[in-house]
């Protein structure tokens, strides 16, 4: 049997729930993973559209600048073809036309570079009223003359308008990206916070349930230990009772055989001798038939011997089984037994019998009769009492027999230990054979009370009464 575990304290019970709840740290873990994702989302949302717009705008600007460069190249080719020598020095008409082209296209500078990399000194070269510190978008177009490339026309487009547009988009999409990033970060954090609170509460409840289960387990183990101890005690008591019953049965059989031998010896000694004497007297009668006086004397002796033999046989039969119970019933048998003891005139016996309509078993009636017979015989022989009282009360599940006297009393333990205690032991064993109990209460100088409590349904059953002990 396992030893019961000690009951856990309240601090030990509640701490696992709180520790588990605090050790989850779901918000911190999720926050560390969501923050880079939210920042990345904000950057992507803020920069993708502006960068795409800037790329498209610069591409369109480049395409436009390339178209203007080709237009300038065509104009210069026509001018060269008309004035092959003077095109390098420009003209007012050409300068005016180039300024119109540059102004309409938003160009910063138009330059012409020959094939050797030297700029052609035109009046309009870098002569436009444009800031020169701006990073420009340069695009070139070849200048052909008679099928040969003689120079390259470079135009510088102004990238500031697309950049300003991209910056405007960056501002708007930056606000949108920050909002989306914050929303992506806040919504899961809020949900995980609620989930963490619920999980913490659930863990606390589980901790409480675990503590309750541990307490119940400890209580159950204690109860199991108590029940096991009770069962062991009950088993030990049952084993002792079984051993006692076996010893009682063995003693009952031994006493029965001993009493049978006593009865057989008495019948042999008394009845056998008496019958032998009767036979001798009958022979003498037959031989003395001529003398009436001898015949009368022998006949008288024979009658006396015959009466004594019948009395011995009747007493032996009574010891084997009280046939009077079958003849007149238990109440009348008790009255006759008391009347026989009253005839001496030394003992007054009061009888009180209260039986209901329920029939008692033969074994129970025989035991009651034997207990009364043994008790009254002991009172008459040893108690030197003047009065005795016999009470037989039938209850619902048992029968209570009480026999008391005003005799000299005795010490019960000493009497049972003495050789003359066979009658007391036999009375107790009679009651125990039927599952009952017999208590002897006696004090020297104060009389004796014998109380027998017998169940109406005996453990010995309704078998043959000869199996009972004859005290």
- pLDDT, tens only, 14-71: 444 444 444 567 778 888 888 888 899 889 988 998 999 989 988 988 888 888 888 8
Neighbours of 96 (CB within 10 A): 11
Beta-bridge partner residues of 109: 156
Q: What is the pLDDT of residue 439?
A: 92
d(C-alpha 393, C-alpha 44), whole Å:
107
- Residue 246 in any domain: the answer is no
pLDDT surpasses 90 at 77: no
Of 149, 166, 100, 151, give the one whose Cα is nearest residue 128. Answer: 100
Domain count, the chain: 1
Round to whole Å and give the CA distance between 456 and 358: 10
Q: Which of 87-91, 98-102, 245-249 has the highest mean pLDDT?
A: 245-249
pLDDT of residue 96: 60
What is the share, in percent, of the chain residues with pLDDT greater than 70? 72
Q: Is residue 338 part of a domain?
A: yes
The residue that leads in pLDDT, 127 or 326, is: 326
Kindly report which listed range (12-26, 104-118, 196-210, 356-370) carries the lowest average pLDDT score.
Answer: 12-26
The closest alpha carbon to 298, from 287, 284, 312, 311, belongs to 284
Query: Looking at residue 300, what is its pLDDT?
Result: 77
Is there a domain that residue 353 lies in?
yes
pLDDT tier at 218, thresholds 50, 70, 90: confident
Cβ atoms of 441 and 448 within 8 Å: the answer is: yes
Please tell me which residue, 93 or 273, carries the higher pLDDT value: 273
CB-CB contact of 364 with 398 (8 Å): no
Q: What is the pLDDT of residue 113?
A: 75
The pLDDT value recorded for residue 103 is 63
Instruction: Please report how the helices 160-266 and 10-24 are oriented relative to each other, as an axis angle in degrees rounded to 10.
Output: 150
Residues 157-184: tens digit of each pLDDT:
888 888 888 899 889 988 998 999 899 8
**409, part of any domain:** yes
* Any domain includes 393: yes
- The answer to whether 244 and 429 have CB atoms below 8 angstroms apart is no
Cβ-contact 344, 353 below 8 angstroms: no
Least confident residue range of 8-22, 135-149, 295-309, 455-469: 8-22
Sign, CA dihedral 247-253-257-263, equals: positive
Percent of the chain with pLDDT over 90: 12
Higher-confidence residue: 339 or 132? 339
Q: Which pLDDT band, with edges at 50, 70 and 90, does 122 fall under?
A: low
Say yes or no to pLDDT of 405 above 90: yes
Asked if the model's pLDDT at residue 279 lies above 80, the reply is no
d(CA 260, CA 466): 10
Query: Do residues 365 and 334 make contact, with C-beta atoms less than 8 angstroms apart?
Result: no
Query: DSSP of 211-237, one letter per residue?
Result: HHHHHHHHHHHHHHHHHHHHHHHHHHH
CATH number of residue 432's parent domain: 3.30.565.10
Tens of pLDDT, residue by residue over 446-470, are 899 999 999 986 444 444 443 333 3
pLDDT band per the 50, 70, 90 thresholds, residue 319: low
Confidence of residue 345 (pLDDT cuts 50, 70, 90): low
For tokens 């008679």, what's the residue? 146
Q: What are the backbone angles phi and psi of residue 34, rounded to the nearest 5°?
A: -85, -30
pLDDT at 440: 92
CA pair distance 438, 61, nearest whole angstrom: 129
In the predicted model, is pLDDT for residue 75 greater than 80?
Answer: no
Burial group, residue 129, by CB count within 10 angstroms (0-12, 13-18, 19+): exposed
Spatial CB neighbours of 55, under 8 Å, sequence gap ≥ 6: none
Which pLDDT score, from 0 to 100, does residue 316 have? Answer: 66
Residue 102, Cβ density class (10 Å: 0-12 exposed, 13-18 middle, ≥19 buried): buried
- Average pLDDT estimate for 375-403: 90
| Mean confidence (pLDDT) of the chain | 76
Lowest mean pLDDT among 17-31, 119-133, 344-358: 119-133
Q: Is 200 a domain residue?
A: no
* Domain hosting residue 394, numbered range: 324-467
Q: Establish if 32 belongs to a structural domain.
A: no
Burial of 389 (0-12, 13-18, 19+ CB in 10 A): middle
DSSP strand E in 316-447: where?
348-354, 387-394, 398-405, 437-442
pLDDT of residue 460: 42
Tokens 């390259």 correspond to 152
Position 460 in a domain: yes
Contact 62, 139 (CB under 8 A): yes
The per-residue pLDDT for 13 is: 38
Q: Which residues contact 354 (CB under 8 A, 6 or more apart)?
A: 392, 393, 394
pLDDT at 468: 38
């Amino acid at each position: 049997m396992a030893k019961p575990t000690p009951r856990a304290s309240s601090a030990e019970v509640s701490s696992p729930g709180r520790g588990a709840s605090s050790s989850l740290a779901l918000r911190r873990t999720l926050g560390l993973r969501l923050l880079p994702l939210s920042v990345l989302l904000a950057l992507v949302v803020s920069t993708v559209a502006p960068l795409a717009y800037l790329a498209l705008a610069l591409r369109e600007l480049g395409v436009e600048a390339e178209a203007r460069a080709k237009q300038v190249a065509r104009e210069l080719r026509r001018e060269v073809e008309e004035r092959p020598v003077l095109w390098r020095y420009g003209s007012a008409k050409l300068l005016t036309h180039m300024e119109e082209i540059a102004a309409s296209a938003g160009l910063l500078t138009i330059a012409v570079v020959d094939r050797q990399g030297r700029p052609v000194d035109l009046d309009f070269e870098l002569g436009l009223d444009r800031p020169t510190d701006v990073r420009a978008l340069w695009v070139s177009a070849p200048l052909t003359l008679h099928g040969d490339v003689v120079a390259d026309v470079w135009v510088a487009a102004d990238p500031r308008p697309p950049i300003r547009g991209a910056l405007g988009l960056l501002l708007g999409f930056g606000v949108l990206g920050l909002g989306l990033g914050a929303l992506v970060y806040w919504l899961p954090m809020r949900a995980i916070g609620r989930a963490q609170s619920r999980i913490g509460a659930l863990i606390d409840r589980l901790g409480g349930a675990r503590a309750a289960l541990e307490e119940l387990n400890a209580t159950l183990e204690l109860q199991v230990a108590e029940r096991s101890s009770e069962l062991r005690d009950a088993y030990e008591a049952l084993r002792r009772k079984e051993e006692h019953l076996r010893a009682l049965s063995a003693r009952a059989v031994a006493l029965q055989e001993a009493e049978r031998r006593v009865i057989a010896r008495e019948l042999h000694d008394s009845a056998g001798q008496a019958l032998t004497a009767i036979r001798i007297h009958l022979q003498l009668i037959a031989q003395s038939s001529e003398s009436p006086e001898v015949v009368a004397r022998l006949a008288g002796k024979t009658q006396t011997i015959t009466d004594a033999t019948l009395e011995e046989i009747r007493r032996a039969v009574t010891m084997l089984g009280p046939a009077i119970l079958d003849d007149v019933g238990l109440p009348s048998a008790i009255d006759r037994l008391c009347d026989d003891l009253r005839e001496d005139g030394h003992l007054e016996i009061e009888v009180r019998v209260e039986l209901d309509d329920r029939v008692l078993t033969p074994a129970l009636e025989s035991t009651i009769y034997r207990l009364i017979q043994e008790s009254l015989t002991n009172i008459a022989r040893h108690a030197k009492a003047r009065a005795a009282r016999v009470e037989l009360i039938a209850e619902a599940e048992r029968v209570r027999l009480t026999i008391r006297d005003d005799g000299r009393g005795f010490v019960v333990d000493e009497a049972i230990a003495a050789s003359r205690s066979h009658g007391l032991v036999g009375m107790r064993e009679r009651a125990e054979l039927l599952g009952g109990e017999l208590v002897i209460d006696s004090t020297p100088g104060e009389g004796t009370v014998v109380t027998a409590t017998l169940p109406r349904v005996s453990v010995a059953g309704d078998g043959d009464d000869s199996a009972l002990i004859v005290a």
